[in-house]
Structure 1
Amino acid sequence: MTKLALVTGGSGGLGAAICTKLAQNGYRVVFTYNSNAEAADEVLSNLEGSGHGAFQLNVLDEKAIDKLVNQVSEISDELHVLVNCAGMTKFVPHSDLEGLDDDLFDKIFQVNVRAPFALVRAFENQLRKAKGCVVNITSIAAQTAIGSNIAYCASKSAAENMTRSLARALSPDIRVLAVAPGLVDTEFVKGLDDEWRHQQEQSTPLKRLAGEKEVADAVYAATDVLTFSTGSTISVDGGRPLGS
């Protein structure tokens, strides 16, 4: 039987790499996108195999999540993998407390923490039937408290704590892990200031940034290789917390 994987935020660079990796390894992949249908179509057209699908989803919309459950259930009543990759942030200097207003703070937590929980809750039955695995994409910022803004760092720390809580609550039927990338060399990051990117590389012991494929490999390892692991965070950060 072909295994089914659901990836939220699958039209972005990192999400697309995860979808590609899973499809290459025999998964039937369905993924969500927020607004960029063109990007979603491109990802979908490049996936190996057949039967894949893309669905528009606002992860903050409870009714939309219920609709997604119905759409996925029409494909299968078993969900083997759920990857919570959808996320959001905005650059606000950590010293600019006024710049991090309440609305932005709340939305970051809603997208990065509440939404992954809502997806797990919504698909619990399908995941249990499949003895499935949940992978939450977090960040090195959960450990270093260095990132795009204070709320983002805190939200990723909360997501890792939630990963451990869910792993305990859903055992033994469902494994729950987190994958925590360092700065990933996406197309967006490649377009940033070269000097800044060089500084980030040099502050990492392995002297480079993470590749999207390396993060996708870690997700696949969590789902299909590390089958006796749950509640853990897999770091893909080049040793960044160790310093240079």
Structure 2
Amino acid sequence: MSKLALVTGGSGGLGAAICRKLAESGYRVILTYNSNQKAAEDVLSSLPRNEHLAFKLNVADSSAIEQLKHQVSEISDKLDLLVNCAGMTKFVAHSDLQSLDDQLFDQIFQVNVRAPFAMVRAFEPWLKQANGCVVNITSIAAQTAMGSNIAYCASKSAAENMTRSLARALSPEVRVLAVAPGLVDTEFVKGLDDAWRNQQEQSTPLKRLANDEEVAQAVYAAADLLTFSTGNTIAVDGGRPLGL
């Protein structure tokens, strides 16, 4: 029987790459999407084998997570891997404190911190039954404090601290790790100012940006290869914090 993986935010670029890597590695994948059903269906159609599923989920809504738990319970009573990939942000200059209002600040923390915790809380019995693994997608912004806004950086730092706390709380049955990408060469990033993008590349020791597949490989490694690791953050950043 295939191992079962649940990936939140699985219809986006990075989430889709994670779903593909896991499916290619033999996992049966359940992905969630917030609003773009067509994108989710496209991801499903790109996966090998006709056994994968997609469910609509607003990760900031705890009642929706409870509904998802019911849907998953009809499929299996075990969950081998939970990937918390759903996230949100909005560009606000760090110096512009007035534009980072309470509503946006709270929304970022709801999606980037509370939601991953709520997912783990909901699926704890499934994960323990499978001696499973949780992978939280964070960011090097947790370490560098440079990112789309101050709340985003703080939320990713909180998510990494929570990863360590959960690793302790869920041991020995469940391992919990974080994967922290640097700037990933997505379609969005490709549309940004060329000079800025080039500066980011040149400031990275490997002189390029990460791609989705490299982050997905790190998630797979965390789940299936690094079996004596828990509470750690795996950086996929080309050495960017070295600041060359």
TM range (shorter): over 0.9
TM-score normalised by structure 2 residue count: 0.99
| Percent of aligned pairs with the same amino acid | 79
1:198 aligns with 2:180: no
Contact 1:87 / 1:112 at 8 angstroms: preserved in 2?
A: yes
Letter in 2 for 1:34: N
Structure 2, unaligned runs of 5 or more:
none
Letter in 2 for 1:200: Q
In 2, Cα distance between equivalents of 1:19 and 1:73: 20
Contact 1:28 / 1:50 at 8 angstroms: preserved in 2?
A: no
Match of 2:210 in 1: 210
Contact 1:204 / 1:243 at 8 angstroms: preserved in 2?
A: yes
How far does residue 50 in structure 1 lie from its aligned partner after superposition?
2.5
- Number of matched residues? 244
Report the secondary structure of 1:98's partner residue: helix
Give 1:13-32 correspondences, 5 Å limit: 13-32=13-32
Report the secondary structure of 2:204's partner residue: coil
Match of 1:219 in 2: 219
Report the secondary structure of 1:163's partner residue: helix
Give 1:38-187 correspondences, 5 Å limit: 38-187=38-187
Letter in 1 for 2:30: V
TM-score normalised by structure 1 residue count: 0.99
In 1, Cα distance between equivalents of 2:190 and 2:132: 35
In 2, Cα distance between equivalents of 1:94 and 1:38: 35
Report the secondary structure of 1:235's partner residue: strand
How far does residue 146 in structure 1 lie from its aligned partner after superposition?
0.3
In 2, Cα distance between equivalents of 1:148 and 1:97: 13
Contact 1:82 / 1:135 at 8 angstroms: preserved in 2?
A: yes
In 2, Cα distance between equivalents of 1:109 and 1:238: 27
Divergent runs of 4+, >6 A: none
In 2, Cα distance between equivalents of 1:48 and 1:5: 14
